[in-house]
Amino acid sequence: MYKVFTDFHHAGLLQSLILLFEKRLGGEVYRPIGMDWATAGYWKVYDHPATQEQFLGVGGNTPDGSAKLNEVVENVRYGVYLCHDIDSDQTNKAMTLESFMLTDIDIVIASIPQHIEPFKKLCELHPNHPKLIFQIGNAWTSEAGTAPNIMASAKVSGISGELNFIEYHQEFDLAIYHPLVISKTYIKDVVNVNHYGFEVLPEPKIYSFVNCFDSLGHFAGDWQLFSEVERTLPEWEFKSFGGQCRDGAIGPSTVLADKIREARFIWHTKNGGDGYGHVIHNAPACGKPLIVKKEYYVDKLAEPLLIDGVTCIAIDGLSCQQVVNKIEFYSQPEEYSKMAQASYENFKRVVDFEREAEEIQKFLAKLI
């Protein structure tokens, strides 16, 4: 049973580590709480007092109204807290620096490059001398060789054969992310289903869940196309959910999954692609076809999920009217049903959390 300490910068990643190390491997996962982590130089997410308070402060004040990350549910023991988890709506374990030094930690995980060196020092100073893992969920390649053990939920090139390395998918709860009628709870609510049990044709809704998807900055061109298609299809409902998005953020994961299932298509044009990409995996797990630009996912982990005309609608280089034509074609009941089913079946073929957990156990047995 591993006792794991990990940094915390992404709620979905933290939840995936809890599902892996606690639910599958029977261990314990802790993340930092308390300002000592920052003052001692071990917390490097973002050097700003308000951000430090949000991520580390007990109670975690958020003057800007963003989600509270350290809402304490229970003080388990001195320096260890159960905090409300904004992703799962359950709890996660947080510990102070003092408690970390007093706990028999086996593994320390750095999930951003700037934590590799401070966490190396932590491992050296800790009485148990835990092993360090660099978890790569984005395209961080230059720093990969500075940590001896690599868990990559993103495609990474240039990895030395001397490193202990594994590629995997970040797990998410398939009891939450599933096609509408897979759960008996929902079957009675679905009227129009095919012989597979999938909806023949959901309501005409297209939702995006890309953070900061707007007319400014990095996503401006894709936002313009999204807006043009929205104006061309006035009978459809278009929503842009996420941080700093037009229709606001969505959470926890149960609400996000419901919104994914509510849509007919998920619009996911994320310039630069994802390292891992939660939504681009969540959508096919729910049997929802994606509208994407495949060029953004060349040599990315999600690339095998995207088969134009089979599991998704690719819109690379298309005009607004050409995009509309494809949406209308794949909105024919038979075409949509085939695509939704194919999206789900392909996800199950590409992503197998149970099998990957077995491979991760072999990786953990060889930690350097």
pLDDT at 188: 44
- Which residue would you say has higher pLDDT here, 195 or 130? 130
Contact (CB, 8 A) for 11 and 66: no
What values do phi and psi take at 319, rounded to 5? -75, 170
pLDDT at 146: 77
Is pLDDT of 362 > 60?
Answer: yes
Cis peptide before 333 (omega within 30 of 0): no
Two tokens, residue 189: 């609510």
Share of the chain above pLDDT 70, in %: 91
pLDDT at 187: 45
Is pLDDT of 158 > 50?
Answer: yes
64-114 pLDDT, tens digit each: 566 788 899 999 999 999 999 988 889 999 999 999 999 999 999 999 999
Domains of the chain with bracketed CATH: 3-169+353-364 (3.40.50), 184-350 (3.40.50.2000)
Contact (CB, 8 A) for 156 and 1: no
CA angle 66, 91, 246 (to 5 degrees): 30
Q: What is the DSSP string of 9-57?
A: S-HHHHHHHHIIIIIIT--EEEEE-STHHHHTT---S---HHHHHHHHS
| pLDDT band (50, 70, 90) for residue 60 | low
| pLDDT band (50, 70, 90) for residue 272 | confident
Two tokens, residue 88: 């799962």
pLDDT at 186: 45
Is pLDDT of 195 > 60?
Answer: no
Angle between the N-to-C axes of helices 320-329 and 220-232, in degrees from 0 to 180, rounded to the nearest 10: 60
pTM for this predicted structure: 0.91
Residue indicated by tokens 């995207």? 306
The size of the chain, in residues, is 368
| pLDDT band (50, 70, 90) for residue 157 | confident
The C-alpha atoms of residue 334 and residue 1 are separated, in whole angstroms, by 49
